[in-house]
Structure 1
Amino acid sequence: MLASPRQPSYAPTPYSFTPTLSLSATINLDQEVKLSETAGERDLYDSLAEIYSIIITLDGLEKAYIKDSIPEAEYTEICSRLLKQYKSNLNDETVAREFVDLETFKREWGIECPRATERLRVNLPATIADPSNSHPSTSTPQASFAGTAPSQPSASGSQILLATENFITFLDALKLNMLSKDALHPLLAELIQSVNAVTDRDFEGRAKIISWLIRLNGMRAQEELGEGEARELSFDMEGAYQGFKRTLN
């Protein structure tokens, strides 16, 4: 009886293929692949990588804050530092041109990070943008149960004086036609921080301060407010100043 022919260990194909053992790479596998040819390109890629890491880190920080996994003071410090580093990287015109904008950068590199996106849009830590909402778990349970707001620590005279001076300084800057983002945004950011040091209560006009901070943050550094916008801002800040003073009574 004849033995059946041995079956091949692979599926036959209609094409003949003869493997070769003389394979060779067209590049030196031991040589480091360079992503950039010049020092300028290397600096650009380093800055873009830094921005990427800031966005990812900031998103993780926001999640930790929401879960109450980080103390407020530590969150505020780290968040403020990340926001400054983000802005510092984008102050370079070459980096800003390659970056385009946050949404474009996120699409290009396939990241979402909604919490970091919101924080970068506001450009303020959550503890500063909305101190009355900071970590609800730290409020006094008895006060909440009774339906009354928890008492806030009394501010010092120097804190009240600083907040008042910052309001006056900002309004004077508007009167002097200092209307560019790089002139107004730092003053307004310092103003809201000094106000928060005095009170975490909401007052008439406080939301306007945050709204203008976000609005200014979306402008280019050298961009200026128009005459109508400047008058609207001055009116809103006058109202906020009066609302702040009423909280001191």
Structure 2
Amino acid sequence: MSLIQLHENSKDRRFYDDSADLYAILKATETLEKAYARDAVGGDEYEKLCVKLISQFKSTVSALKIDPSSFCSTYTADCPRAVNRLIHTGVPATTLHAQVNDSDESVRVAECVQFFITLMDSVRLEQRAADDLHPMLSDLMSSVTLIPGVPEDVTGGVERWLVRLNGMKAAEELDEEQGRELLFDLDKSYNGFHRFLKERNERK
């Protein structure tokens, strides 16, 4: 009985191998997300595994040069949690919904302010590549969600830009209008953050 050849040359073989890897990454992420939602895996372990899967996903998609959403439709990869994590947000759930620990809140506030300033300065200096901005937005989101009670009008804009940049290719850049829009949203979030801190202090 002869074997059925799925590929005719090394290029085809790489495509099938990478496609199989991508499918496996989607399924693994779906399983991880379900486990985290059910408290079957701790936050630290989840985050470590999720960051690794996100990195592998981006690398594999880049090698395949395909639209990951189309891939999911073509190969009927029923992985809604993985699609949200890998394609839409691009960061672990712990980044968007961080668990607050007992460390000094004044330190967290100072770090958050520094992340805001660094990111806004970078945008003002016309740093617009997705692979430059996404990590800074991720750091900001991780920081701001560690502060209890921060309203959605502060975090919402940051999260929307995380999703937007995650949908871009690494080397893709925001145009001038998009850069101004990002800076406007960041400035609005930053002012909202200060307003939140002021109002909270007045209530004490």
TM-score (norm: length of structure 1) = 0.69
Structure 1 stretches of 5 or more lacking a match?
1-28, 135-150
Question: Residue 149 of structure 2 aligns to which amino acid in structure 1?
Answer: R
Structure 2 counterpart of 1:202:
150
Structure 2 stretches of 5 or more lacking a match?
none
Structure 2 counterpart of 1:37:
8
Distance in 1 between residues matched to 2:156 and 2:168, nearest whole Å: 19
Structure 1 counterpart of 2:126:
177
Instruction: Kindly indicate whether residue 76 of structure 2 is the aligned counterpart of residue 127 of structure 1.
Output: no
Report the Cα offset of residue 228 of structure 1: 2.7
Report the Cα offset of residue 174 of structure 1: 0.8
Q: Per the alignment, do residues 69 and 247 of structure 1 end up closer, same or farther by CA in structure 2, a change over 3 Å counting? A: farther
Larger Rg over CA atoms = 1
Structure 2 counterpart of 1:189:
138
Instruction: Say if 1:208 and 1:240, in contact at 8 Å, map to a contact too.
Output: yes
Instruction: Say if 2:27 and 2:79, in contact at 8 Å, map to a contact too.
Output: yes
Q: Higher helix fraction: Structure 1 or Structure 2?
A: 2
Q: Per the alignment, do residues 200 and 76 of structure 1 end up closer, same or farther by CA in structure 2, a change over 3 Å counting? A: farther
Distance in 2 between residues matched to 1:152 and 1:193, nearest whole Å: 13
Instruction: Say if 1:58 and 1:82, in contact at 8 Å, map to a contact too.
Output: yes
Instruction: Say if 2:161 and 2:182, in contact at 8 Å, map to a contact too.
Output: yes
Report the Cα offset of residue 54 of structure 1: 0.7
Report the Cα offset of residue 156 of structure 1: 6.0
Report the Cα offset of residue 164 of structure 1: 2.8
Structure 2 counterpart of 1:216:
165
Instruction: Kindly indicate whether residue 36 of structure 2 is the aligned counterpart of residue 65 of structure 1.
Output: yes
SS in 2 for 1:205: helix
Instruction: Say if 1:155 and 1:199, in contact at 8 Å, map to a contact too.
Output: no
The superposition leaves residues 170-226 of structure 1 with CA deviations (integer Å, 9 ceiling, x where unpaired) of: 111111111222221122112222333x42433342111001110111123333323
Distance in 2 between residues matched to 1:76 and 1:236, nearest whole Å: 27
Distance in 2 between residues matched to 1:201 and 1:88, nearest whole Å: 36
Report the Cα offset of residue 33 of structure 1: 4.1
Of residues 46, 56, 61, the one that matches 1:75 is: 46
Instruction: Say if 2:144 and 2:155, in contact at 8 Å, map to a contact too.
Output: no
Structure 1 counterpart of 2:114:
165
Distance in 2 between residues matched to 1:158 and 1:200, nearest whole Å: 14
Structure 1 counterpart of 2:75:
109
- Superposition RMSD on alpha carbons, in Å? 2.4
Distance in 1 between residues matched to 2:192 and 2:72, nearest whole Å: 39
Instruction: Kindly indicate whether residue 54 of structure 2 is the aligned counterpart of residue 88 of structure 1.
Output: no
The superposition leaves residues 29-64 of structure 1 with CA deviations (integer Å, 9 ceiling, x where unpaired) of: 2x5544333333222222111110011111111111
Tell me which moved more, 48-57 or 232-241: 232-241
Instruction: Say if 1:205 and 1:236, in contact at 8 Å, map to a contact too.
Output: no
Structure 2 counterpart of 1:226:
175
Distance in 1 between residues matched to 2:43 and 2:148, nearest whole Å: 14
Question: Residue 127 of structure 1 aligns to which amino acid in structure 2?
Answer: T
Tell me which moved more, 151-160 or 106-115: 151-160
Instruction: Say if 2:36 and 2:46, in contact at 8 Å, map to a contact too.
Output: yes
